[in-house]
Structure 1
Amino acid sequence: MGVLERSVATLRVSGDDLRPEEITALLGASPTYSHTKGDRRVFASGRERIFKFGIWNLSAKVAEPEDLNAQVDELLAQLTPDLAVWRELSERYSVDLFCGWFMANGNDGVSIAPRTLLALGARGIELDLDIYSPTDD
């Protein structure tokens, strides 16, 4: 079994009444990206989008080859270790770690360390995986 070619990881906090500045204050770090419900974005094409919920995202550096354990360490090192804060967040909002895993071959694999799983679980962070098969591009 080969190692995954690349991984991306983003901690996402989302909810209807989410105010990004509140999440920043609670977690102790500025987001990579955020918006509130009702914010508008106009794309280069001229198409406009009105957001239906608020979001606060913090992205880790892309890992080549895949290294989710290091990406989780990178993200959590920037944020509060206070589990009471995390419990409050996970009760009020949807909190997950989105991971994009990119395969180089048809039988690549990945292992997640117990310490990584424990750190996510203790904070109420759901693990959301998108696995992309290799392409001929």
Structure 2
Amino acid sequence: MSILFMSTVSIGFYGDDLEPEQITISLGDEPTVGVKKGEACPSATGASNPARTGSWRVSSENCQPGDVDGQINALFDGLSNNLSAWKAFAQRYRGRVFCGIFLGSGNEGLTLRPETLLRIGERGLLVDLDIYERDVTG
């Protein structure tokens, strides 16, 4: 298995009645994006559209070569270790660790250490993996 070409990670909560300020206070850091349902939310293209649901998320910078394990831990390290708060938010909202995985070839992979998996699980979060094939035509 070769080294992963590139990765990006975010940790977030999503829900129609989500109040970003409550999560910020409990988890101890400002989100990369914090928006209530219906509020203006910038898109990847820079346009601003009404948010379809509320969200609070912290995001890593893209990492090349990819380092999903390191990115997840760096994000957790900047947030509270109050597991009761994490679990309460995860039960009330859709809580997840999003991993964008960008392949440079057909045989790449990643490893998550047991300690990282424990940190995710003890907070009650889902893991979403989006795997992208590198555009070889461009």
| Equivalent residue, structure 2, for 1:6 | 6
Question: Cα distance, 1:80 vs. partner?
Answer: 0.8
Residue 51 (structure 1) shift: 2.0
Deviations 1:53-96 (A, max 9, x none): 11011001221111111111110111111111111111111100
**Alpha-carbon deviation of 1:97?**
0.9
Stretches of structure 1 that go unaligned for 5 or more consecutive residues are: none
Confirm or deny: 8 A CA contact 2:69 2:116 kept in the other structure.
yes
Report the 3-state secondary structure (helix = DSSP H, G, I; strand = E; otherwise coil) of the residue aligned with 1:57: strand
The Cα shift of 1:41 comes to 4.9
How many residue pairs get aligned? The number is 135
Counterpart Cα distance in 2 of 1:41 and 1:88: 25
In structure 1, the partner of 2:56 is 56
Larger Cα Rg: Structure 1 or Structure 2?
1
Change in 2 beyond 3 A, CA 1:53/1:104: same
- State the distance in 2 between where 1:88 and 1:42 align: 28
Ranges of 4+ aligned residues in structure 1 off by more than 4 Å = none
Asked if 2 retains the 8 angstrom alpha-carbon contact of 1:106 and 1:134, the reply is no
1:39 and 1:84, CA in 2 relative to 1: closer, same or farther beyond 3 A?
Answer: same
Q: Deviations over 1:87-111 (max 9, x none)?
A: 1111111100111001111111111
